[in-house]
Amino acid sequence: MDKKNKLVYKGIEESGFVILASKLQQMIESNALRYFYFSGEIGSGKTSYIRILLKHIGINENIKSPSFNMVEHYEIEKKIVYHVDLFRMKNPTAWQDGEIGSLFEDENALIFLEWPEKAEGLPTPDARLEISSGEHHIDTNKRDLSIYFKKPELLDNRYLLLPKC
């Protein structure tokens, strides 16, 4: 993805991501965003951030980590939401055969995928989120977050600004 289609949030806390999730929710509801990829070291908050986003789009049930099953799915109004974790995938093209590959064929699917770097040949995401502890110690609640958008028109700095806390 083009680096000029990138927003960077330094030292974002979970409360800031909750605000950002509400803004991304509107993009999801307008069908502007369907595929989200999350990258970051172990413990950086990928699953936590996905849970926040899923709650914002209307998933009210317990949101489980797909670390062992690789795929968890949920249903909301005319959409199926898939939370995919590729961390345990050994073969970088294994996703193409079977359940994970078929998810991308469903035009009513929303896909939230962790560890895309473990796979080769994935479709380009609408948004790629990179989470890191940056200058912040991993035990704190602060993270650095970069979001890359496939479509530059989605990059509206005014809309995606977070209030100073």
CATH of domain 3-154: 3.40.50.300
Count of CB atoms situated within 10 Å of the CB of 62: 6
Instruction: List, in sequence order, the alpha helices (H) in the chain.
Output: 14-29, 46-56, 99-103
Q: What confidence score (pLDDT) does residue 115 get?
A: 95
Rounded alpha-carbon distances, angstroms, from residue 73 to 21, 40, 84, 100:
19, 22, 9, 11
From first to last of its 165 residues, the chain has per-residue pLDDT tens of 556 678 888 888 888 888 888 888 888 888 889 999 999 988 888 899 999 999 999 998 888 888 778 999 999 988 899 999 999 898 999 899 878 999 999 889 999 999 999 999 999 999 999 998 877 665 578 888 888 988 877 766 555 555 554
Q: What is the pLDDT of residue 1?
A: 56
Per DSSP bridges, beta strands 109-114 and 79-85 are parallel
Contact 163, 138 (CB under 8 A): no
What pLDDT sits at residue 139?
A: 55
pLDDT at 120: 95
**Contact predicate 95/101, CB 8 Å:** yes
* Whole-number pLDDT of residue 4: 67
Its pTM stands at 0.88
Number of Cβ within a 10 Å radius of residue 74: 18
Alpha-carbon distance 67 to 8, whole Å? 27
Please answer whether residues 134 and 10 qualify as being in contact, where contact means their C-beta atoms are separated by less than 8 angstroms.
Answer: yes
